[in-house]
Amino acid sequence: MRTGLTLAILISSVSLNAPSNAVELIPHQAVYRMSLKGAEANSGVAGAEGAMLYKFEEACDAWTSETKVFLKLLYVGGKEVESTWSFVSWESKDDLAYRFRVRQSRDGTPVEYLQGTVSRNKVEGAAKVDFTSPDGTQMELPQGTMFPTHHLLALIAEGKKGTLTYSRTVFDGASLDNPYTINALITPGATAKSNDESIDERSFKHIRMAFFPISSRRAFPDFELGVDYRANGIANHIVQDFGGFSLDLMPDTIELLERPTC
C-alpha cells in the first residue's frame, strides 16, 4: 500500500516558459497529521493515525524531495499494523534525469526496497529505468512520460488557464506498478488559511487524481489522491483514497526554505 503516495508529486519550484502561466512554487518542509477519513465495512479498517514529513529543496539544476510516513492502522477485532514508508527523489530541471529510493517496513520488518535511475536524451522521450534494487530489474517508459515535479508544474499551469481535465503518463518510482496514467480533474477551491504570516495566502485549486498502471486494463484506479494546492504549490489539504478506506492529511506545521543563489 502506497501510504506516502509520492509527495514528490506535490511540491517543486520553477517558472514555466509561458509568462501568463508562470508557476512559482515554494521549497518548504511540512508535517501533516494523518487520520481515518472513511472506511467501507468490508475493508476491516476501524481507525488510523500517523504523520507525514515532507521536505522539498531546490538546487540550481534539480529539485530534491524527501517523504517520511509513519502510520498505524487499527482493524476490526483490535489488530494493529504499524507501517513506515520513506521516499527520496532527485529530478533534473532539464527533464532528462531522475533518481529515486523507496523503503517500506511493516511492524518493524522491511517489506520493500526500491532504488533506481532514469536518463534520456530528449525531453519526454522514451527511456529505460535501471533499478539497482531489485538488482538487474529494468522498466521501459513510453514517449511522453513525465517525472513528478514537471507533472505538478503542468497541473498548476493548466489550473491557471482554467483547464478542467488533464491526463498524462507519469513515472515516480514509488512502486513497481509504475508508470501510471494519471487522470486529473482540476476544480476551483476556496482560500487557503494559515497562521504563518510569511506564507502568502492565495486562492487554490482542488486537484483530484486517479492513478491507473499502464500495464493494467482495470476500469478502476489503483488509488486516488485529492489535493488542495495553493497557487504557490503548498498542499493545504490531502486525501488519500485506497478504495476500501481513505486517509485525511492536514498540515500541522509548514516551514519555508531558502532558494539557492545560482
Confidence of residue 24 (pLDDT cuts 50, 70, 90): confident
Give me 66's grid cell. 524527501
Instruction: Give me the phi and psi of 152, to 5 degrees please.
Output: -60, -45
pLDDT > 70 fraction of the chain, expressed in percent and rounded: 87
Q: What is the pLDDT of residue 2?
A: 55
How many residues can be counted in the chain? 262
Residue 1 is assigned to a structural domain of this protein: no
Dihedral sign for Cα atoms in the order 189, 190, 195, 201: positive
Confidence of residue 23 (pLDDT cuts 50, 70, 90): confident
Mean pLDDT of the chain: 88
The residue segments making up the domain with residue 54 are 7-256
Residue 2 is assigned to a structural domain of this protein: no
pLDDT at residue 1 tops 90 = no
Cell 543563489 found at:
261
pLDDT at residue 212 tops 70 = yes
Q: What is the pLDDT of residue 83?
A: 97
Residue 208 is assigned to a structural domain of this protein: yes
Q: What is the CA radius of gyration of the chain?
A: 18
Q: What is the pLDDT of residue 210?
A: 98
pLDDT at residue 21 tops 70 = no
Residue 102 is assigned to a structural domain of this protein: yes
| Bridge partners (DSSP) listed for residue 34 | 50, 249
Helix (H, G, I), strand (E, B) or coil at 149: helix
Q: What is the pLDDT of residue 203?
A: 58
28-57 burial by CB neighbour count: b if 16+ within 10 A, else e?
Answer: bbbebebebeebeeebebbebebebbbbbb
Helix (H, G, I), strand (E, B) or coil at 200: coil
Residue 88 is assigned to a structural domain of this protein: yes
For residues 155 and 66, what is the distance between their CA atoms, to the nearest angstrom?
21
101-122 burial by CB neighbour count: b if 16+ within 10 A, else e?
Answer: bbbbeeeeeeeeebbbebebee
Region 151-170: mean pLDDT is 93
Q: Which of 92, 69, 58 has its CA nearest to residue 257? A: 58
Residue 261 is assigned to a structural domain of this protein: no
Q: How many domains does the chain have?
A: 1
Predicted TM-score (pTM) of the model is: 0.87
Least confident of 11-20, 84-93, 181-190, 205-214: 11-20
Helix (H, G, I), strand (E, B) or coil at 155: helix
Q: What is the pLDDT of residue 13?
A: 35
For residues 247 and 44, what is the distance between their CA atoms, to the nearest angstrom?
14
Give me 60's grid cell. 540550481
Instruction: Give me the phi and psi of 17, to 5 degrees please.
Output: -70, -35
Long-range contacts of 199-204 (CB under 8 A, 24+ apart): 199/26, 199/232, 199/234, 199/254, 199/256, 200/230, 200/232, 201/230, 202/230, 202/231, 202/232, 203/231, 204/228, 204/229, 204/230, 204/231, 204/236
Residue 262 is assigned to a structural domain of this protein: no
For residues 127 and 140, what is the distance between their CA atoms, to the nearest angstrom?
6
Give me 34's grid cell. 494523518
Q: What is the pLDDT of residue 193?
A: 52
Q: What is the pLDDT of residue 191?
A: 52
